[in-house]
Amino acid sequence: DAKTTQPPSMDCAEGRAANLPCNHSTISGNEYVYWYRQIHSQGPQYIIHGLKNNETNEMASLIITEDRKSSTLILPHATLRDTAVYYCIVRPYNTDKLIFGTGTRLQVFP
Amino acid sequence: DVKVTQSSRYLVKRTGEKVFLECVQDMDHENMFWYRQDPGLGLRLIYFSYDVKMKEKGDIPEGYSVSREKKERFSLILESASTNQTSMYLCASSYRGSGANVLTFGAGSRLTVL
């Protein structure tokens, strides 16, 4: 299974863009990249996913490099409510299981 | 609104007790999951079920069993609870085999074993 590597923590000023990196150098061609986040004391929440192309939704943008070995989740205008642990996950093509790592703790400050 | 409901938000049990953690989803999802979450270790998959009466071990199945008698319900069983099973337990569900495998999580059950 492809592993992901994320920095343990990051800070971001409120109103600025938060760019959360993820390395997945062993990803296979048909494996999706998913991002979830977990706000304190709640279950994780789906944010976005992608395969090859960049994706955008109402919550965030996902930028996947051309070689697919890394990706970046972008929160365009971070708010205090975006303070959470963010998980980058690669889903193996032959299973519906999602294996979470330890994620990146994003702290948005005023 | 779609929901995954975990029966107990907080439980306190004694060592050796049998513990049932219940999870119900109302989205007609085929897949259901049990994770545990501990500080510094992230979420770890205990068991996964992709259909009624079907189950698959996750990364840390030892000391746990599961039951899936109905599509909407997935139970996690600790046959003889131990203190190292004190943790936050999270249930999730999803559709099977779709490209967008979006998990919906419950609020979690915090179990303390004394």
CB A103 within 8 A of CB B42: yes
| Residues A19-76: tens digit of each pLDDT | 999 999 988 888 889 999 999 878 999 999 998 889 999 999 999 999 999 999 999 9
A102 touches chain B (CB under 8 A): yes
- Looking at residue B71, what is its pLDDT? 96
| Residues B19-64: tens digit of each pLDDT | 999 999 999 999 999 999 998 888 899 999 999 999 999 999 999 9
SS3 B64: coil
- Please judge whether A43 and B45 are an interchain contact, meaning their C-beta atoms are less than 8 angstroms apart: no
- Looking at residue B100, what is its pLDDT? 66
Average pLDDT of the segment spanning B61-90 = 97
Helix H segments across B34-108?
none
Q: Using CB atoms, which residue from B59, B101, B108 is nearest to A43?
A: B108
The model's confidence at residue B88, banded by pLDDT at 50, 70 and 90, is very high
- Looking at residue A28, what is its pLDDT? 85
Residues 6 or more apart from A23 whose CB is under 8 A from it? A4, A5, A6, A69, A70
Phi, psi of B84 (to 5 degrees): -75, 0
Q: Using CA coordinates, name the residue in chain A closest to B88.
A: A41
> For residues B82 and A95, which has the higher predicted lDDT (pLDDT)?
B82
Q: Using CB atoms, which residue from B94, B103, B107 is nearest to A42?
A: B107
CB B26 within 8 A of CB B36: no
A30 touches chain B (CB under 8 A): no
Average pLDDT of the segment spanning A84-106 = 87
- Looking at residue B45, what is its pLDDT? 93
- Record the tokens describing residue B11, joined without a space: 């439980």
Looking at CA atoms only, how far is residue B8 from chain A in angstroms?
14
The CB density around residue B18, as the number of other CB atoms within 10 Å, is: 10
- Looking at residue A88, what is its pLDDT? 95
Chain B residues in contact with A46 (beta carbon < 8 A): 102-104
- Looking at residue B2, what is its pLDDT? 61
CB B6 within 8 A of CB B104: no
Average pLDDT, chain B: 92
Average pLDDT of the segment spanning B58-76 = 96
B108 touches chain A (CB under 8 A): yes
- Record the tokens describing residue A83, joined without a space: 């303070």
A35 touches chain B (CB under 8 A): no
